[in-house]
């Protein structure tokens, strides 16, 4: 019965109206992608919601859900920093760090933040209580089934069932230099049954995403996120050295939209019936509709919407208007029947 429930998208007729993707309750079909808005709130006065100033001009509580930065058992500096309370006088140092972890490239962005985060305990203590008005998808990541079990247990202890939309298992990030193929089945088998919250599996286009989606269905995952960033590389044309501190990075933005659409369509063509939250290059209503036609049940705004060149951030209020208009259109949109 639980598996059958996951196969159908039904309207949520409860007091908080919205949609349901299997067991995942969303306020509408537009969510935000992991990391782009930090933890849904931050300590910075300039970037109050995390990494993007644009978010200051958009009501985050109106989204279907806000997906957090990936959090791990212990704090990680990654290839960036856990610090988020930068002062204006520290801006040059911050920009230098960004230059080593994030670069604008043709058609998108290349990043290698490397799961920089404050750790699950600090997140649950210092950030989550300040985002109760938002519907939250908590992104969690680890390097073993045991770490995912620990993360699930900590969330279970701190967050009552039904208080968040879901846990998103990030078992597909290239920026931490780890082959997740070797642990994914153990993670799903051991951690999913322990969770008091619905689980979403985030798929990579660089792994066997059809096989991973089938594993997800086998082990009781409620929905899929497709896709994570695409592994990429840029070199300094003068020196031949990588632009990013990590060397390789994750490509996001408009350039990967055709890949995201391909993955969603191939999942449906392979008879994968779990609900899909699609992400990859989404910026406009037409982008959303393309993903819905391909077979997605909801869509997620990532770097194509929340990132801008540094001078471009001066136009954050205008970007905010565009995103609010998109949100209004999606709030009452029903995807085509499959």
What residue ranges define each of the domains in the chain, with the CATH number in brackets? 19-331 (3.20.20.70)
DSSP per-residue codes, 125-152: IIIGGGGTTS-EEEEEE-SSHHHHHHHH
pLDDT, residue 46, reads: 66
Return d(Cα 274, Cα 149) in angstroms, integer: 23
pLDDT in tens, the chain (338 residues): 344 334 344 434 433 568 999 999 999 999 999 999 999 998 877 677 777 889 999 999 999 999 999 999 999 999 888 888 777 787 788 778 888 899 999 999 999 999 999 999 999 999 999 999 999 999 999 999 999 999 999 999 999 999 999 999 999 998 898 999 999 999 999 999 999 999 999 999 999 999 999 999 999 999 999 999 999 999 999 999 999 989 999 999 999 999 999 999 999 999 999 999 999 999 999 999 999 999 999 999 999 999 988 888 899 999 999 999 999 999 988 888 77
Judge contact between 55 and 37, C-beta under 8 A.
yes
Catalytic hit among 54, 101, 173, 226: 173
Q: Residue 279: is the preceding peptide bond cis (ω within 30°)?
A: no
Confirm whether 173 is a catalytic residue: yes
Judge contact between 101 and 82, C-beta under 8 A.
no
What beta strand segments (E) does 223-264 contain? Answer: 223-226, 230-232, 249-252
**CA 191, 195, 200 angle in degrees (round to 5)?**
80
DSSP state of 43: S
In the block, residue with structure tokens 């300590």: 43
Nearest to 225 by CA among 237, 235, 238, 212: 212
pLDDT in tens, 55-76: 999 999 999 999 999 999 999 9
């Amino acid at each position: 019965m639980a598996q059958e429930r996951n196969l159908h998208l039904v309207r949520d007729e409860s007091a908080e109206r919205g949609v349901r993707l299997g067991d995942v309750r969303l306020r509408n079909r537009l969510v935000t992608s992991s990391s782009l808005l930090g933890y849904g709130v931050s300590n910075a006065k300039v970037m109050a919601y995390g990494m993007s100033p644009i978010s200051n001009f958009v009501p985050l509580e109106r989204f279907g859900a806000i997906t957090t930065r990936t959090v791990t058992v212990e704090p990680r500096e990654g290839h960036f920093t856990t610090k988020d309370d930068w002062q204006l006088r520290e801006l040059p140092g911050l920009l230098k760090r960004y230059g080593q972890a994030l670069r604008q490239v043709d058609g998108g962005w290349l990043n290698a933040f490397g799961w920089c985060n404050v750790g699950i305990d600090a997140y649950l203590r210092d950030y989550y209580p300040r985002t109760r008005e938002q519907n939250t998808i908590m992104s969690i990541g680890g390097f073993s089934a045991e770490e995912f079990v620990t993360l699930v247990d900590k969330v279970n202890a701190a967050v009552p069932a039904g208080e968040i939309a879901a846990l998103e298992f990030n078992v597909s990030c290239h920026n931490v230099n780890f082959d997740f193929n070797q642990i994914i089945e153990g993670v799903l088998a051991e951690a999913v049954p322990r969770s008091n919250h619905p689980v979403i599996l985030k798929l990579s286009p660089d792994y066997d995403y059809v096989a991973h989606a089938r594993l997800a269905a086998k082990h009781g995952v409620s929905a899929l996120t497709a896709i994570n960033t695409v592994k990429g590389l840029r070199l300094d044309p003068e020196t031949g050295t990588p632009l990013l501190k990590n060397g390789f990075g994750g490509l996001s933005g408009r350039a990967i939209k055709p890949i995201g659409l391909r993955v969603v369509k191939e999942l449906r063509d392979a008879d994968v019936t779990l609900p899909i939250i699609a992400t990859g290059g989404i910026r406009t209503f037409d982008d959303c509709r393309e993903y819905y036609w391909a077979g997605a049940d909801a869509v997620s705004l990532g770097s194509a919407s929340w990132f801008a060149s540094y001078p471009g951030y001066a136009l954050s209020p205008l970007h905010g208007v565009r995103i609010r208009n998109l949100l209004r259109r999606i709030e009452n949109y029903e995807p085509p029947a499959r």
